[in-house]
Structure 1
Protein backbone atom coordinates (compact mmCIF):
# COMPACT_ATOMS: atom_id res chain seq x y z
CA UNK A 1 0.00 0.00 0.00
CA UNK A 2 1.41 3.39 -0.94
CA UNK A 3 1.17 6.54 1.12
CA UNK A 4 -1.38 7.98 -1.32
CA UNK A 5 -3.75 5.01 -0.91
CA UNK A 6 -3.31 4.42 2.81
CA UNK A 7 -6.43 5.15 4.84
CA UNK A 8 -6.11 7.09 8.06
CA UNK A 9 -8.68 6.16 10.65
CA UNK A 10 -10.95 8.81 12.12
CA UNK A 11 -12.20 8.83 15.68
CA UNK A 12 -14.63 11.16 17.47
CA UNK A 13 -13.46 12.06 20.96
CA UNK A 14 -15.86 13.53 23.47
CA UNK A 15 -15.72 15.58 26.63
CA UNK A 16 -12.80 14.57 28.85
CA UNK A 17 -11.09 12.75 25.98
CA UNK A 18 -10.46 16.12 24.24
CA UNK A 19 -7.32 17.69 25.70
CA UNK A 20 -7.06 21.29 26.85
CA UNK A 21 -4.47 21.84 24.13
CA UNK A 22 -6.98 20.68 21.52
CA UNK A 23 -9.70 22.91 22.99
CA UNK A 24 -7.26 25.83 22.75
CA UNK A 25 -6.47 24.87 19.14
CA UNK A 26 -10.19 24.85 18.25
CA UNK A 27 -10.71 28.28 19.83
CA UNK A 28 -7.60 29.69 18.19
CA UNK A 29 -8.63 28.22 14.83
CA UNK A 30 -12.03 29.93 14.97
CA UNK A 31 -10.45 33.26 15.93
CA UNK A 32 -7.78 32.98 13.22
CA UNK A 33 -10.34 32.07 10.57
CA UNK A 34 -12.56 34.99 11.57
CA UNK A 35 -9.69 37.44 11.48
CA UNK A 36 -8.67 36.18 8.03
CA UNK A 37 -12.13 37.23 6.79
CA UNK A 38 -11.52 40.83 7.85
CA UNK A 39 -8.87 43.37 7.12
CA UNK A 40 -6.89 45.35 9.62
CA UNK A 41 -7.32 43.28 12.77
CA UNK A 42 -5.27 44.90 15.51
CA UNK A 43 -6.33 42.73 18.44
CA UNK A 44 -4.45 43.41 21.67
CA UNK A 45 -5.15 42.18 25.17
CA UNK A 46 -6.10 44.84 27.69
CA UNK A 47 -6.13 44.47 31.47
CA UNK A 48 -6.18 46.30 34.78
CA UNK A 49 -5.90 44.99 38.33
CA UNK A 50 -6.22 46.55 41.77
CA UNK A 51 -4.20 45.21 44.68
CA UNK A 52 -4.40 45.80 48.41
CA UNK A 53 -0.89 44.93 49.48
CA UNK A 54 -0.22 41.69 47.61
CA UNK A 55 -3.90 40.69 47.45
CA UNK A 56 -5.79 41.07 44.20
CA UNK A 57 -9.12 42.75 45.02
CA UNK A 58 -10.45 43.80 41.60
CA UNK A 59 -9.64 43.55 37.94
CA UNK A 60 -10.80 43.27 34.42
CA UNK A 61 -9.56 42.21 31.05
CA UNK A 62 -10.56 41.83 27.47
CA UNK A 63 -9.18 43.08 24.19
CA UNK A 64 -9.24 46.04 21.85
CA UNK A 65 -9.81 45.38 18.18
CA UNK A 66 -11.21 47.37 15.26
CA UNK A 67 -11.39 50.49 17.46
CA UNK A 68 -13.63 48.72 20.00
CA UNK A 69 -13.05 47.70 23.60
CA UNK A 70 -14.39 44.22 24.27
CA UNK A 71 -14.66 43.65 28.02
CA UNK A 72 -14.49 39.92 28.73
CA UNK A 73 -14.26 39.86 32.51
CA UNK A 74 -14.80 42.41 35.25
CA UNK A 75 -14.43 41.18 38.83
CA UNK A 76 -14.38 42.51 42.39
CA UNK A 77 -13.55 40.37 45.41
CA UNK A 78 -16.69 39.63 47.45
CA UNK A 79 -15.35 41.46 50.53
CA UNK A 80 -14.82 44.65 48.50
CA UNK A 81 -18.06 44.84 46.52
CA UNK A 82 -20.39 47.79 46.89
CA UNK A 83 -17.52 50.31 47.10
CA UNK A 84 -17.55 51.40 43.46
CA UNK A 85 -14.48 49.37 42.52
CA UNK A 86 -16.24 47.67 39.59
CA UNK A 87 -17.05 51.04 38.05
CA UNK A 88 -13.52 52.26 38.76
CA UNK A 89 -12.10 49.17 37.10
CA UNK A 90 -14.29 49.65 34.04
CA UNK A 91 -13.29 53.31 33.77
CA UNK A 92 -9.61 52.27 33.91
CA UNK A 93 -10.15 49.85 31.00
CA UNK A 94 -12.04 52.53 29.08
CA UNK A 95 -9.25 55.07 29.58
CA UNK A 96 -6.69 52.62 28.18
CA UNK A 97 -8.99 51.81 25.25
CA UNK A 98 -9.45 55.50 24.46
CA UNK A 99 -5.65 55.91 24.43
CA UNK A 100 -5.57 53.11 21.84
CA UNK A 101 -8.06 54.98 19.64
CA UNK A 102 -11.19 53.01 20.45
CA UNK A 103 -14.48 54.70 19.60
CA UNK A 104 -16.82 52.42 21.58
CA UNK A 105 -16.96 49.60 24.12
CA UNK A 106 -18.96 46.37 24.35
CA UNK A 107 -19.73 44.45 27.53
CA UNK A 108 -22.09 41.62 28.52
CA UNK A 109 -23.59 40.41 31.77
CA UNK A 110 -26.16 37.91 32.99
CA UNK A 111 -27.16 39.99 36.01
CA UNK A 112 -29.94 42.59 35.76
CA UNK A 113 -28.45 44.74 38.54
CA UNK A 114 -25.05 44.77 36.82
CA UNK A 115 -26.69 45.76 33.52
CA UNK A 116 -28.30 48.67 35.38
CA UNK A 117 -24.87 49.67 36.74
CA UNK A 118 -23.41 49.64 33.23
CA UNK A 119 -26.31 51.77 32.01
CA UNK A 120 -25.58 54.21 34.84
CA UNK A 121 -21.99 54.32 33.55
CA UNK A 122 -23.16 55.34 30.06
CA UNK A 123 -23.75 52.01 28.35
CA UNK A 124 -26.94 51.31 26.39
CA UNK A 125 -28.51 47.87 26.14
CA UNK A 126 -28.41 46.80 22.49
CA UNK A 127 -29.76 43.28 23.04
CA UNK A 128 -31.00 40.95 25.70
CA UNK A 129 -31.94 37.29 25.73
CA UNK A 130 -34.39 36.35 28.47
CA UNK A 131 -33.71 33.02 30.20
CA UNK A 132 -30.34 32.76 28.47
CA UNK A 133 -29.72 30.37 31.33
CA UNK A 134 -32.62 29.60 33.67
CA UNK A 135 -33.39 32.70 35.71
CA UNK A 136 -30.87 34.96 33.97
CA UNK A 137 -31.05 37.39 31.08
CA UNK A 138 -28.03 37.97 28.88
CA UNK A 139 -27.54 41.72 28.40
CA UNK A 140 -25.25 43.11 25.71
CA UNK A 141 -24.40 46.77 26.23
CA UNK A 142 -22.56 49.32 24.12
CA UNK A 143 -20.99 52.63 25.06
CA UNK A 144 -20.23 55.00 22.19
CA UNK A 145 -17.58 57.69 22.57
CA UNK A 146 -17.39 58.62 18.89
CA UNK A 147 -19.77 57.63 16.09
CA UNK A 148 -18.40 55.22 13.51
CA UNK A 149 -18.37 56.20 9.85
Structure 2
Protein backbone atom coordinates (compact mmCIF):
# COMPACT_ATOMS: atom_id res chain seq x y z
CA UNK A 1 0.00 0.00 0.00
CA UNK A 2 1.24 3.45 -0.90
CA UNK A 3 2.41 5.72 1.93
CA UNK A 4 -0.21 8.26 0.77
CA UNK A 5 -3.13 5.89 1.30
CA UNK A 6 -5.18 6.28 4.43
CA UNK A 7 -8.55 5.02 5.58
CA UNK A 8 -11.04 7.57 6.82
CA UNK A 9 -14.05 6.56 8.87
CA UNK A 10 -17.40 7.89 9.98
CA UNK A 11 -17.30 11.68 10.46
CA UNK A 12 -13.99 11.85 8.57
CA UNK A 13 -15.89 10.94 5.37
CA UNK A 14 -17.69 14.09 4.16
CA UNK A 15 -21.25 13.95 2.81
CA UNK A 16 -19.97 14.81 -0.67
CA UNK A 17 -17.75 11.72 -0.63
CA UNK A 18 -20.64 9.51 0.52
CA UNK A 19 -22.72 10.98 -2.33
CA UNK A 20 -19.92 10.20 -4.79
CA UNK A 21 -19.76 6.58 -3.56
CA UNK A 22 -23.52 6.27 -4.03
CA UNK A 23 -23.35 7.74 -7.55
CA UNK A 24 -20.50 5.39 -8.46
CA UNK A 25 -22.42 2.30 -7.28
CA UNK A 26 -25.57 3.35 -9.18
CA UNK A 27 -23.54 4.14 -12.30
CA UNK A 28 -21.77 0.78 -12.13
CA UNK A 29 -25.10 -1.02 -11.78
CA UNK A 30 -26.62 0.85 -14.70
CA UNK A 31 -23.59 0.03 -16.85
CA UNK A 32 -24.34 -3.68 -16.24
CA UNK A 33 -27.87 -3.33 -17.64
CA UNK A 34 -29.30 -2.40 -21.00
CA UNK A 35 -31.61 0.55 -21.57
CA UNK A 36 -31.50 2.52 -18.35
CA UNK A 37 -33.70 5.56 -18.76
CA UNK A 38 -33.78 6.79 -15.15
CA UNK A 39 -35.71 10.01 -14.58
CA UNK A 40 -36.73 11.62 -11.32
CA UNK A 41 -40.45 11.85 -10.67
CA UNK A 42 -42.14 14.01 -8.04
CA UNK A 43 -45.43 15.49 -6.90
CA UNK A 44 -46.16 18.01 -4.14
CA UNK A 45 -49.41 19.38 -2.74
CA UNK A 46 -49.50 22.87 -1.33
CA UNK A 47 -52.21 24.60 0.68
CA UNK A 48 -51.33 28.24 0.17
CA UNK A 49 -47.70 28.53 1.26
CA UNK A 50 -47.73 25.26 3.22
CA UNK A 51 -46.48 21.95 1.87
CA UNK A 52 -48.98 19.34 3.06
CA UNK A 53 -48.13 16.22 1.04
CA UNK A 54 -45.75 14.91 -1.56
CA UNK A 55 -43.85 12.05 -3.01
CA UNK A 56 -40.87 11.36 -5.20
CA UNK A 57 -38.84 8.61 -6.71
CA UNK A 58 -37.81 7.66 -10.22
CA UNK A 59 -38.96 5.84 -13.30
CA UNK A 60 -36.55 3.39 -14.86
CA UNK A 61 -36.84 0.21 -16.92
CA UNK A 62 -40.59 0.83 -17.33
CA UNK A 63 -41.08 0.79 -13.54
CA UNK A 64 -42.10 3.49 -11.10
CA UNK A 65 -39.93 3.31 -7.98
CA UNK A 66 -41.52 5.32 -5.17
CA UNK A 67 -38.80 6.39 -2.74
CA UNK A 68 -40.76 8.72 -0.48
CA UNK A 69 -44.46 9.34 0.12
CA UNK A 70 -45.37 11.81 2.85
CA UNK A 71 -48.41 13.60 4.27
CA UNK A 72 -48.12 16.21 6.99
CA UNK A 73 -49.23 14.69 10.28
CA UNK A 74 -52.28 16.92 10.80
CA UNK A 75 -53.55 16.10 7.28
CA UNK A 76 -53.27 12.32 7.49
CA UNK A 77 -56.37 10.17 7.20
CA UNK A 78 -57.90 12.35 4.47
CA UNK A 79 -56.80 10.28 1.48
CA UNK A 80 -53.93 12.57 0.51
CA UNK A 81 -51.34 9.77 0.55
CA UNK A 82 -53.40 7.80 -1.95
CA UNK A 83 -53.91 10.96 -4.01
CA UNK A 84 -50.14 11.57 -4.11
CA UNK A 85 -49.50 7.99 -5.16
CA UNK A 86 -52.14 8.17 -7.91
CA UNK A 87 -50.52 11.39 -9.18
CA UNK A 88 -47.12 9.65 -9.37
CA UNK A 89 -48.70 6.62 -11.04
CA UNK A 90 -50.40 8.79 -13.68
CA UNK A 91 -47.07 10.44 -14.54
CA UNK A 92 -45.36 7.04 -14.67
CA UNK A 93 -48.02 5.62 -16.99
CA UNK A 94 -47.52 8.57 -19.35
CA UNK A 95 -43.80 7.67 -19.35
CA UNK A 96 -44.60 4.12 -20.42
CA UNK A 97 -44.20 2.34 -17.08
CA UNK A 98 -45.85 -1.07 -16.78
CA UNK A 99 -45.66 -1.43 -12.99
CA UNK A 100 -44.84 0.36 -9.75
CA UNK A 101 -42.88 -0.62 -6.64
CA UNK A 102 -43.13 0.82 -3.14
CA UNK A 103 -41.47 -0.30 0.09
CA UNK A 104 -42.72 0.52 3.58
CA UNK A 105 -42.00 -0.43 7.17
CA UNK A 106 -45.52 0.41 8.31
CA UNK A 107 -48.24 -2.25 8.38
CA UNK A 108 -51.03 0.32 7.99
CA UNK A 109 -49.34 1.76 4.90
CA UNK A 110 -49.00 -1.73 3.39
CA UNK A 111 -52.74 -2.21 3.98
CA UNK A 112 -53.46 1.11 2.26
CA UNK A 113 -51.24 0.07 -0.66
CA UNK A 114 -53.12 -3.23 -0.95
CA UNK A 115 -56.37 -1.26 -1.06
CA UNK A 116 -54.83 0.77 -3.93
CA UNK A 117 -54.01 -2.37 -5.93
CA UNK A 118 -50.52 -3.25 -4.73
CA UNK A 119 -49.53 -6.81 -3.84
CA UNK A 120 -46.92 -7.71 -1.22
CA UNK A 121 -44.13 -9.45 -3.11
CA UNK A 122 -41.95 -9.95 -0.02
CA UNK A 123 -41.75 -9.00 3.59
CA UNK A 124 -38.95 -9.14 6.13
CA UNK A 125 -40.10 -9.43 9.73
CA UNK A 126 -38.12 -7.37 12.25
CA UNK A 127 -36.25 -5.58 9.46
CA UNK A 128 -36.03 -2.84 12.06
CA UNK A 129 -36.93 -4.11 15.56
CA UNK A 130 -40.72 -4.09 15.76
CA UNK A 131 -41.23 -3.30 12.06
CA UNK A 132 -41.74 -5.44 8.96
CA UNK A 133 -40.41 -4.32 5.61
CA UNK A 134 -43.08 -4.74 2.93
CA UNK A 135 -42.07 -4.74 -0.75
CA UNK A 136 -45.20 -3.93 -2.74
CA UNK A 137 -45.80 -4.14 -6.49
CA UNK A 138 -48.67 -2.94 -8.66
CA UNK A 139 -48.80 -4.29 -12.21
CA UNK A 140 -50.58 -2.42 -14.98
CA UNK A 141 -49.23 -4.44 -17.89
CA UNK A 142 -47.57 -7.82 -17.31
CA UNK A 143 -43.97 -8.08 -18.46
CA UNK A 144 -43.05 -10.72 -21.03
Q: TM-score, normalized by length of structure 1?
A: 0.95
How far does residue 8 in structure 1 lie from its aligned partner after superposition?
4.4
Q: Does 1:27 align with 2:9?
A: no
**Given the alignment, which residue of 33, 46, 50 partners 2:41?**
46
Q: Where do residues 1-149 of structure 1 align in structure 2 (5 Å cutoff)?
A: 7-149=2-144
Task: Tell me how far apart the structure 2 counterparts of residues 8 and 34 of structure 1 sit (CA, whole Å).
Answer: 31
Runs of 4 or more, structure 1, over 6 Å off, are none
How far does residue 11 in structure 1 lie from its aligned partner after superposition?
1.1
CA deviation digits over 1:35-85, x for unaligned, max 9?
A: 000111000000000000011000000000000000000000001000000
Structure 2 residue matching 1:29: 3-state secondary structure: helix
Task: Tell me how far apart the structure 1 counterparts of residues 59 and 80 of structure 2 sit (CA, whole Å).
Answer: 22
Q: For this pair of structures, how many residues does the alignment match?
A: 144
Task: Note the residue ranges of structure 2 that are not aligned, 5 or more in a row.
Answer: none
Structure 2 residue matching 1:101: 3-state secondary structure: coil
Higher Cα radius of gyration: 1
For the aligned residues, what is the CA RMSD? 1.1
How far does residue 32 in structure 1 lie from its aligned partner after superposition?
0.2
